[in-house]
Amino acid sequence: MGVWKKIEPPSLNDDEKSVQVKTTITRHEIRRATSEIALEKELTWHFEKGACYHCFSWGDVDSLTYFRVIVKQQRIRYALISTWCMAETDIKEIFSWIEKGYIGRVDFYVGEIFKGSYEKEYRLLVELCGKYGCRLVIFRNHSKIMLLFGEKFDAAIESSANVNTNPRSEQTVITVDSQLAFWYKDIFDNITPFNSDFEQPPILDLTRKSD
């Protein structure tokens, strides 16, 4: 996360150089960094409890950028992501946050087409969810919702966008409200998975707190 910077090599004579490194980034990473910078310029850095932030993007905005803004503000004890499909790069980034201790656990709820149409991404999710004890639920899903339960505040992100990047305009609302976040969590906790081949861990019981 953060702003990409060009790193200049030290000024050394040819006989003093032991290694040289060239850093490259993908087009997806460039779009992600650009959208992150643009969003941070528009949003209040410290979110207020009870506030709603309505966002409209004109394409090439990674929906995970909204999630990332909250991860930067606080440690997340639990998160839930509901999406029709997901990109491989986003999956890897989310689990890197678990490895770094930014997030305790993330549960995933995806559409019924995900396993067949996004086989590579599905296999990756199965592997990582099994490794880190996360739920991976397939059902007749087209909702795009991300829930974050943090040390400072809870929030619900409601969007037209899947967890990927596309050239279309999307609308997103970030609501900093514990009751709304728990209202959504209760709904997803009671969904029966289609994917009986994946051993689901127990549903995480969170302590409810008032805003």
Per-residue pLDDT reduced to its tens digit, 79-97:
999 999 899 999 999 999 9
Predicted TM-score of the model (pTM):
0.80
Q: What is the pLDDT of residue 57?
A: 85
For residues 173 and 211, the model is more confident at: 173
Query: Does residue 104 register a pLDDT over 90?
Result: yes
In angstroms, what CA-CA distances link 143 with 4, 9, 22, 35, 132?
32, 47, 41, 22, 24
Q: What is the pLDDT of residues 125-156, one digit of tens each?
A: 999 999 999 999 999 999 999 999 999 999 99
Query: Does residue 5 register a pLDDT over 80?
Result: no
Q: Are the C-beta atoms of 66 and 165 separated by less than 8 Å?
A: no
Read off the pLDDT of each residue in 176-198 and give the average, rounded to a whole number.
Answer: 96
